Amino acid sequence: MKRNFVCVLIGVIGLSVSSCATKSATSANEVQPAYEENNLAKVSLKDFRKNSNGAYVLFDGSSLTGWRGYNKAHVPNKWSIDNGTLKFSKAPAGVQKPEGGDIIFAHDFKNFELEFEWKISHAGNSGVFFLAKEIKNQPIYISSPEYQLLDNQNHPDAKQGVDGNRKSASLYDMIPAKPQNAFPAGEWNRAKIVVNKGKVTHFQNDEKVVEYDLWTPSWTELLQTSKFSKAKWPLAFELLNNVGGKSKSGVIGFQDHGDDIWLRNVTVKVL
């Protein structure tokens, strides 16, 4: 009733009713959210065994139970089990219609210790995501910090960014991993990511290499000096500045960057 009255009043003073309707529609569009989350199926941790350290085994080398593609209900066939490893293949043998995309473990984690081992192909590039949301029609990294996985010796990304902040174990494009102690392509590395009440720590080959605090002015400042700044990428800035959303939780994922990578012994200890 109020809207109709305002439109009639505007018509009386010489403006068209149609202009009022147009303005109302525009206002409605302005309050629409800029993104939408997918509500795909998640799994319960009670269905997964714990190891001797009390961590849930997310990948044991024999099953992809709990895993699926980001924003997908299935595992893309470029991901497979290969000699006890979780492997992404840029050109999987014998696959007629290869499908790629990032892969996630379909459970929302909040405070946790993620551990895994990885090795990458020559000049390879990949990454690990956490506290991620599944945003329709958007990549996983729009809502998630990234622990970089890289062949530092041969991939050009190692020389880009600032002070090595795109090398292995770095908070991608924000904080360089120091010391930089990654092993060469083809060799196994050990990775650990600890998230505890907003404090995030990256470990590489048993050394602490990065530390930062989410949801703080310093986190916002990091975003503003990166490719995810408010000016360069407003939606990414909004999502990353509020990593994990209201629940401060999200999924863990591994990246399809088009290069072969192998992962094993993927575990999460809930804190």
CA–CA separation, 206 and 86 (whole Å): 22
Is residue 67 within 8 Å of 73, Cβ to Cβ?
no
Residue 1's pLDDT is 46
Question: Which residue, among 90, 51, 112, 102, has the nearest Cα to 265 in the 3D structure?
Answer: 51
User: Quick check: 232 and 192 in contact, CB under 8 A?
Assistant: no
Pairwise CA distance, residues 214 & 230, whole Å: 17
Expressed as residue numbers, the domain containing 15 is 1-32
Asked if pLDDT for residue 166 goes beyond 50, the answer is: yes
Are residues 41 and 26 part of one domain?
no
Cα distance between residue 139 and residue 141, in whole Å:
6
Determine the average pLDDT of the residues in 35-43: 93
- Looking at residue 52, its amino acid is S
Answer yes or no: do 181 and 211 share one domain: yes
The DSSP symbol for 138 reads: S
Question: 138 with 17, same domain?
Answer: no
Q: Give the pLDDT mean for 2-6.
A: 41
20: pLDDT strictly greater than 60: no
- pLDDT at site 205: 98
**pLDDT single digits (tens) 59-116:** 999 999 999 999 999 999 999 999 999 999 999 998 989 999 999 999 999 999 999 9
> Is a pLDDT exceeding 70 seen at residue 11?
no
What secondary structure does DSSP assign to 18-36, as a single string?
A: HHHHHHHHHHHHHTS-S--
Residue 7, pLDDT above cutoff 90: no
**So what's the pLDDT on residue 27?**
40
Instruction: Identify whether residues 57 and 86 lie together within a single domain.
Output: yes
134 with 7, same domain? no
Average model confidence (pLDDT) for the chain? 90
Which CATH number is 108's domain given?
Answer: 2.60.120.560
Helix (H/G/I), strand (E/B), else coil: 222: helix
For the chain, what is the domain count?
Answer: 2
The model carries a pTM of 0.87
Q: How do residues 174-192 score in pLDDT, each as one tens digit?
A: 999 999 999 999 999 999 9
Same domain, 14 and 46: no
DSSP H helices, the chain, are: 2-12, 17-30, 217-224, 234-241
CA 229 to each of CA 14, 173, 241: distance values in angstroms, whole numbers, following the listed order: 44, 11, 10
Residues 252 and 132 in one domain: yes
Quote the strand ranges of 10-124, DSSP E: 56-59, 67-69, 79-82, 85-88, 103-109, 112-120
Residue 29 has pLDDT above 80, yes or no: no
Q: What is the pLDDT of residue 33?
A: 57
Residue written as token pair 């991608």: 172
State whether 177 and 141 are in the same domain.
yes
pLDDT at 14: 41
| pLDDT score recorded for residue 34 | 79
Q: Tell whether 14 and 109 lie within a shared domain.
A: no
What's the pLDDT tens digit per position in 114-131? 999 999 999 999 999 999
- Shared-domain flag, residues 19 and 152: no
Pair 22, 60 in one domain: no
pLDDT-above-90 percentage for the chain: 86
Q: Are 248 and 131 in contact (CB under 8 A)?
A: yes
| 81 and 96 both lie in a single domain | yes
Give 60's contacts (C-beta < 8 A, 6+ positions apart): none
